[in-house]
Structures are given as structure tokens and as C-alpha cells.
Structure 1
Amino acid sequence: MNDLSPFAAPHVRPLDPAKFRDPLITAGGEVRAEVAMTRLDTLWINTGTLCNLACRTCYIESSPRNDALVYISLAEAEAYLDEALTLGTREIGFTGGEPFMNPDMLAMLDAALARGFEVLVLTNAMRPMQRFEAQLLALKSDRLTLRVSLDHYSQPIHEAERGLGTWDKAIAGTKWLSDHGFRLAIAGRQLPGETLEDARAGYAALFEAEGLNVDSADPAALVLFPEMDATADVPEITEACWGILGKSPDSIMCASSRMVVKRKGEPRPVVAACTLIPYDPEFTMGETLAEASRPVRLNHPHCARFCVLGGASCSA
């Protein structure tokens, strides 16, 4: 079966070893593009890489055993929430792993909402989330969105990625969120050879059949990630590419977001450039949000695959 994941594994590098070596200059001798931060619109907090699933091609390699990113604590998260308040940040995103594996997840969610942020939680809606149904109902808010990962609108393709028996459990959790009036979004994938229109139509049929209150035509409610082939070579992004592609660096994810991670064995959390590159020390921007506001040099294949050429973003 073809690799259906929208992400590449975090340690995969390009086929051409000459590429993505020098942070300033490309293999062709051109000035590498960089992205300046225009604002911190979204602050992501990685709750840890532990997950109840071991998906076949998880971009961050989450699993029941991978604790490369350890659980961040409430106190550590609150320090970043307070700093984000001073910077005018609009949205806090929680991702993992599975966020509801973290024992402080509900408290961190409450802390973010209490500070007035819009909050987005990425979840598989399975048992780790479902055990907190009563607490979630108490936190339900127009500022809280739960985005559930459904890898496809068909059970076989979803389970090829996430494992046998995962479909019914994910659908049950998703239906519970919808039935109880939560703001609900779905993260899915547009498969190779599938048009965007066909993908949205497939999800629309699923939403109608299951009674899910999700607008398949709304790109913030149904987020479809582009095809990502980890084995395919990708071009390096130069300063000239902005004009050639007709793109603004302000449209790239790292112009308006950062992610807090706590790496195993390190004494405190740090701020990474984006959600896709949590392990690479070159993309560690600092320990505080202020330090992390410096420009990001696009010296990683994900910068081309996902953001510049893929046109995708983890936030809505």
C-alpha cells in the first residue's frame, strides 16, 4: 500500500545529501529564504509524544512508548500562557502525542480558556479523551475547538494508518462531541490522485451519515492536508522563490506561530520554530517566546514539502 500520510517522519532528510546543509546558502549557492515573525497568533503546546496509538506514518513518531517529548506540566505551560498574553496571542493549540494522555491536560485547557484565549485541541477522540467527558462538558466554550483526526472518510484507509478497530472508537468519540454541542473540526487527508472536491464530498457524505455537525466546505472545519511523500526530493527555498511562486513569507506558518516542547532529559521546555520540526536543534528558537521571535531559515525539507509548496498550516 502507498504511504498515505500527509507528513514525513521527523528524521527523514532529502535524497540529495548536498541540500539543507548550510542554514544561509543552498546547495546551488543561492541565499536561503527565511521567514520573519510578524506576530505570534498561535502558540502550540506539545503535551508529550506518548499516544494510545502507534500510527504507521506519524510525523512525530508518537506511540505508547515514545517519550522523546515528555509531558509538560501545568506550571510550565502557564508560564508560556502568561507570556503569550503580553504578546497579544489569539490562539493556543494543544497537540501531542495524544493530549489527553497528559495528566495535566484538563488543567492546562482550563488555564488557557480562563485567560481568554481561543483554544484548539488536536485529538484522536478515543479512550484518553472519552474518560474525561464530564470534565470536558464543564469546560465547553465557544472559544474551544476539538479537532479530531480521521485519516480518511472510509474505514479501511483510516485503519490502514491507525490500526484495526480504531475507526468505530474514533467515530464514537467524534459523535459524542458533536451531539453535545462542542465546536468540532476534522483533520483529514487528500489522497494521491484525489481531487480536493472529491475529498470534501467524501467527508461530507460521512458527516451526513453519522450526523456530525461539521461543514465540509469550510477549510477551518475540515482541514485537509496535502500529500506528503517522504521519499521524494524537494527543492530548497531561496529568496527568489517568493516572487517566482507568488507567495509571501507572511503566509508561512512560522511567521505567526511557535511550539513549546519539553525534550526528554532537558531541564525545562524550549520553543521550536513549528509543529513539524520538534527534534531538530537547529529549529530551537529559545527558552522564551520573546527569544523565539527571531526569523526562521527554511533549512529543512518540511519547509518546502508542507508549508511553501504544500500550502498547508497546522492552525485554522
Structure 2
Amino acid sequence: MTAPITMRPKSLDPAKFRDPVVTAKGETRASVGLAGLRTLWVNTGTLCNITCRNCYIDSSPTNDALAYFTLGDLVAYLDEAAALGAPLTEVGFTGGEPFLNRDLPAMLREVLRRGLSALVLTNAMKPMMNHAAALSVLQAEFGARLTMRVSLDHFEPALHDIERGDGAYARTMEGLAWLARQGFTIHVAGRLAFGDDGEAAMRAGYAALFAARGIPVDAGDPVALMLFPEMDAETDVPEITTACWGILRKSPDSLMCASARMVVKRRGSAGPAVLACTLLPYDPQFELGATLAEASRPVALNHPHCATFCVLGGAACSR
């Protein structure tokens, strides 16, 4: 297997996020055990039809560091999950742009025919529309068990296009409108980086847009409209210790790595690998093995993203 890209976490304090067991202050680092595999994420490949200004996975029309996942790859993991008795309920597809992978419609059908739910993260542009016929058939057959989460960084075109390029907003809105007309279950993902007036104002702006365009998304629902914080590994953030759970009144079971894993296929590798989560596709310490069984061990929260994105959510881990 080709070694994964080495990407040691950066921090304004270089002593942080070095040791998976203890923090820079010598305190016991928090870890999260797998309470049960309920969501399996599939990275369909890092290739994308656009290049965003701040893509955490560096997807682009030329980045194929993560190669295309295949239907055969997916079937093997779904079969393993069933054999292990995993409480799997959902399979999510991310990228890159998942619809650049020609196996995606077949992978969706495989997931849905097994009685699972499927979630696709997409920019809803031309690659998605190239599969319009197949998607319409899947929606008609499986209904609400297929959800499309569309990336719309802001409700105003100018701000969205700053991130994704001129004209991106218009193309995404065309895709959103098509999904709405076809009766798909739609979620939207935005970015809090643009929310200078606060989250409430952001949600109000999206609500007005959805109402004006006939997009059936409840902007007040934090699942239907997810507003994500920025993931800047160069920002100095606190390390998460075992004491933080009590201080923050937060359960480790609420974190993504307590109930999910992501499978990828690295370019040049002999086979797929299982990672701790979707946010850390290149860091080798979060590659847990080739099988779901191997990947069932606890995950040390040894990266700034673990703190900023998953644990703190704007809180401070201090007494």
C-alpha cells in the first residue's frame, strides 16, 4: 500500500497535537471509542469539477490523491458490516464531487436496496445533472431514504462565488431547483465564515432564499441546513483532555467518530482503507486499517479539527 500523504497537524503552538496519549501540558488526551457503526462514509474520489478557495480536502479537477471508489469496494464493506452485526443505518457519499464517479448511481442502488439510507454531498452542478435520469428512478423507487446535501456556502451569489468561482451560485441553484421539482429530500450545507451577523441572521437569509425559490428546506433545522465552522489547522485551539467531557457536559458518544467511519481508496494503493472520519483524509494517524473490524478501535483526538469542529463548537474547555 502506498503510504498516505503525511500531513502533521499545524498549530500556532507546535507543542500541541504531537502525542496521541498526552497533551502538551502532560494531561491525558481524550479519545473516543466506537459505540456502534451507524454511518459509513464513502469518499468517492478527490476529483472535483471546480476548485474551491478553501477546500479542506484540496479537491480539484486534477487532485486524484483519493482514487475512485468502486461498487465492488462498497459491497465488500457493506457485507463486512452485516457480518459484524454493525447497527448500520446510513451510507454517506462525499468527495471531491461524488457524481464524477460513474459508479455512484449503482452504489446508491446497492445501499438503498439493502434497506439503508443514502446521503450524497454534492455541489449540484453538471456532474449531478449528467445522472438525472438514474437519480429520478432512484428517487421514485426509494423516496425519502435518498437525501441530497447541496453545498451552498451563502444565500447571496457574490459570497458563494468568492469561494467556488464565478457563476457557481447560479449553476448550483439550477441543480437545487431541479431536485426540488423532482421531489428529492434536500439538505443544504453553508459556511459560518460568512456569518458576520450571527447564525440567526444566516438562517433567516437562507429561509428567505428557499421561500423565494421554492426549495423545501427548513432553514431553522440544524440538520436540514448545516452551517459548518471553518477548519483551519493553523489556528491555535485547545487540546481536548479526558476532563473536558465533564467540563463541557458533553458525551464522547456524540462525536462523529463514535458512530462513523470513512472508507477511501488511495491512488496507487493495493486496496481501500478505513479512516476515523471524513475530516482527516490524509493524516496517517487517523488511518485505522483495511477492514471495519480493524477500524473499531478508539480514536485519539489528536488534531485541531477534533477540537474546533467536533468537540468545542464555540465552547471553551476551561473551568
Deviates more, 1:303-312 or 1:212-221: 303-312
**Aligned residue runs from structure 1 range 65-76, under 5 A:** 65-76=62-73
Distance 1:80 1:194, change over 3 A: farther
Structure 2: state its 5+ residue gaps. Answer: 1-6
Give the letter for the 1:149 counterpart: S
Deviation at 1:211, TM superposition (A): 1.1
- Once residues 183 and 18 of structure 1 are traced to their aligned partners in structure 2, the CA distance between those partners, rounded to angstroms, is 45
Is the CA contact 1:149–1:187 (under 8 Å) kept in the aligned structure 2?
A: yes
Q: Counterpart of 1:253?
A: 256
1:296 matched to 2:299? The reply is: yes
Residue type at the aligned position of 1:187: A
Question: Structure 1, unaligned stretches of length 5 or more?
Answer: 1-9
| Alignment-derived partner of residue 178 in structure 2 | 176
> Counterparts of 1:146-165 in structure 2 under 5 Å?
146-165=148-167
Alignment pair present for 1:308 and 2:311: yes
Given residue 298 of structure 1, which amino acid in structure 2 is its aligned partner? L
Q: 2:14 — aligned with what?
A: 17
Of 287, 292, 304, the match for 2:290 = 287
1:5 corresponds in structure 2 to none
The 8 Å contact of residues 44 and 260 in structure 1, kept in 2 or not, is answered as: yes
1:30 counterpart residue number: 27
Question: Is the Cα contact below 8 Å between 2:288 and 2:295 reproduced in 1?
Answer: yes
Q: Give me the whole-angstrom Cα distance separating, in 2, the residues matched to 1:57 and 1:230.
A: 12
CA distance in 2, matches of 1:77, 1:285: 17
1:18 is aligned with what amino acid? A
Structure-2 separation of matches of 1:193 and 1:162: 19
Give the paired residue count. Answer: 303
Which residue is 1:39 aligned to? 36
Partner of 1:121 in structure 2?
120
**What is the CA deviation profile of residues 121-145 of structure 1, one whole-angstrom value per residue up to 9, with x for unaligned ones?**
0000000000111110000022000
Structure 2 counterpart of 1:193: 196
Contact 2:9 2:303 in 1 (8 A): no
For the Cα contact (< 8 Å) 1:33–1:239, is it kept in 2? Answer: yes
Give RMSD over aligned pairs.
1.5
Amino acid at match of 1:292: A
Matched residues in 2 for 1:228 and 1:302: separation? 6
Q: Percent identity?
A: 61
Question: Structure 1 counterpart of 2:172, which letter?
Answer: A
Which residue identity is paired with 2:103? D
Q: Equivalent residue of 2:144, what SS?
A: coil
Deviates more, 1:202-211 or 1:225-234: 225-234
Q: Which residue of 1 aligns with 2:57?
A: 60
Q: Any idea what SS the aligned residue of 1:111 has?
A: helix
Output the CA distance in 1 between the equivalents of 2:314 and 2:296: 22
Give the CA deviation at 1:229. Answer: 4.1
Do the aligned residues in 1 keep the contact of 2:195 with 2:201 (CA within 8 Å)?
Answer: no
Equivalent residue letter for 1:142: A
Secondary structure at the counterpart of residue 134 of structure 1: helix
1:108-130 deviation line (CA, Å, top 9, x unaligned)? 11111111111100000000000
* Partner SS state of residue 87, structure 2: coil
Residue identity in the other structure for 1:210: R
| Alpha-carbon distance in 2 for matches of 1:29, 1:281 | 23
